[in-house]
């Protein structure tokens, strides 16, 4: 046992505070904590959405670091803070370098810094690509459930984009109660689509697995659609493809043209965050000059403040709130602290005497 307190215990103010220990949490530990706990992670994400809607979070706009000589690459900083029982502060620092795929390594990499809410000192640096994928997948699974209520449960799922996020979303759907008779795949990279198909086959999924070269055919044959690409601009422009009114998890945010959004019921995670950075909802706002096409947030749907008509296409567009990463990261940190498995870096902080 390393004697490190969970953050939920450290968050209680005391008269005399001390510098907390600093831990490094590798991806292996993150995966060990989260694997098999998909319903719990979804509950954490839903609770955080409710807390955010109630004003119990601080979630500033993300900061994008872009490069003149690397136009497709970016690194994003997402500072955030949670209040209440989930009290924690921190920063997610996530990069997206699509060129990595050509070298056989993942496009995205990330770290999450957790800060002690009493002293402000960092308490952990966590590998966060797994946390980011898990919270994205949990958010998508929650939206699939809530937006499907009142309509027949989807049995045909389609994935446009077949990378890591698509894999995590499929896992979270399966482990939170979904099963499908048909799974469709489309990716501009045949190798990626084939790899995802192999993953599905090795996972023992039931039903048919089909790789589509034509995205229209995939869309028209799917009741639940997942867009998880690296598209920088909309490439799906025909609203008629969605005349069968599927539920769409638009997690990559830039696949659908404004015409598609204007023909649908639109749910977002947070309008102020989602309608920026040239996302599809942002482009739609620029086209129309208003936000009337946004029906509400997922928190509104969960709380019953907003309903989703079953006879319309329902689109969930989540920008990805930093508070979700914090909430999931705190859960991982607290589990490891409770079991004494945190790898503490001794004497990480120096110059702790105020006057030397």
Q: Calculate the CA 302 to chain-centre distance.
A: 18
Fold category of 7-131+322-345 in CATH: ornithine cyclodeaminase, domain 1 (3.30.1780)
pLDDT digits (tens, 9 = 90+) for 109-163: 999 999 999 999 999 999 999 999 999 999 999 999 999 999 999 999 999 999 9
Split at pLDDT 50, 70, 90, the class of 15 is: low
Please state, in angstroms and as integers, the Cα–Cα distance from residue 42 to each residue in 113, 120, 134, 148, 179, following that order: 21, 28, 9, 16, 17
Domain locations along the chain: 7-131+322-345, 137-317
- Please state the pTM of the whole predicted model: 0.93
DSSP, residue by residue, 212-243: -S-HHHHHHT-SEEEE----SS--B--GGGGT
Asked if residue 342 has pLDDT above 90, the reply is yes
Q: Return phi, psi of residue 111, to 5°.
A: -130, 155
Residue 1 is predicted with a pLDDT of: 45
Give per-residue pLDDT as tens, 75-100.
999 999 999 877 999 999 999 998 89
Classify domain 137-317 by CATH number: 3.40.50.720
pLDDT of residue 98: 87
pLDDT at 73 over 50: yes
């Amino acid at each position: 046992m390393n004697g490190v307190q969970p953050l939920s215990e450290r968050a209680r103010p005391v008269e005399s505070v001390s510098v907390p220990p600093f831990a490094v949490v590798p991806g292996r530990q993150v995966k060990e904590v989260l694997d098999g706990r998909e319903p719990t992670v979804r509950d954490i994400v839903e609770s955080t959405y409710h807390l955010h809607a109630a004003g119990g979070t601080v979630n500033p706009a993300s900061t994008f670091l872009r490069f003149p000589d690397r136009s497709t690459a970016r690194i994003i900083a997402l500072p955030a803070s949670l209040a209440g029982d989930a009290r924690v502060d921190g920063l997610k620092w996530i990069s997206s370098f699509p060129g990595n795929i050509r070298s056989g390594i993942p496009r995205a990499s990330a770290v999450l810094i957790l800060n002690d809410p009493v002293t402000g000192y960092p308490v952990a640096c966590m590998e966060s690509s797994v946390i980011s994928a898990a919270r994205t997948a949990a958010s998508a699974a929650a939206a699939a459930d809530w937006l499907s209520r009142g309509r027949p449960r989807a049995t045909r799922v389609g994935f446009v984009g077949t990378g890591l996020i698509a894999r995590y979303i499929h896992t979270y759907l399966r482990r939170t109660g979904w099963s499908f008779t048909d799974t469709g795949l489309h990716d501009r990279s045949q190798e990626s689509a084939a790899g995802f198909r192999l993953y599905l086959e090795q996972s023992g999924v039931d039903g048919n697995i089909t790789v589509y070269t034509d995205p229209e055919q995939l869309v028209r044959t799917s009741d639940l659609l997942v867009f998880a690409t690296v598209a920088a601009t909309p490439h799906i422009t025909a609203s008629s493809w969605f005349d069968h009114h599927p539920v769409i998890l638009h997690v990559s945010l830039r696949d659908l043209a404004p015409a598609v959004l204007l023909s649908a019921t639109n749910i977002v995670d947070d309008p102020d965050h989602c309608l920026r950075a040239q996302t599809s909802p942002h482009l739609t706002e620029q086209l129309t000059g208003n936000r009337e096409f946004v029906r509400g947030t997922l928190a509104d749907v969960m709380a019953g403040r907003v309903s989703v008509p079953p006879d319309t296409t329902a689109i969930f567009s989540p920008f990805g709130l930093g508070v979700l990463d914090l909430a999931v990261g705190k859960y991982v940190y607290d589990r490891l602290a409770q079991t004494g498995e945190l790898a503490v870096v001794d004497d990480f902080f120096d110059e702790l005497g105020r006057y030397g």
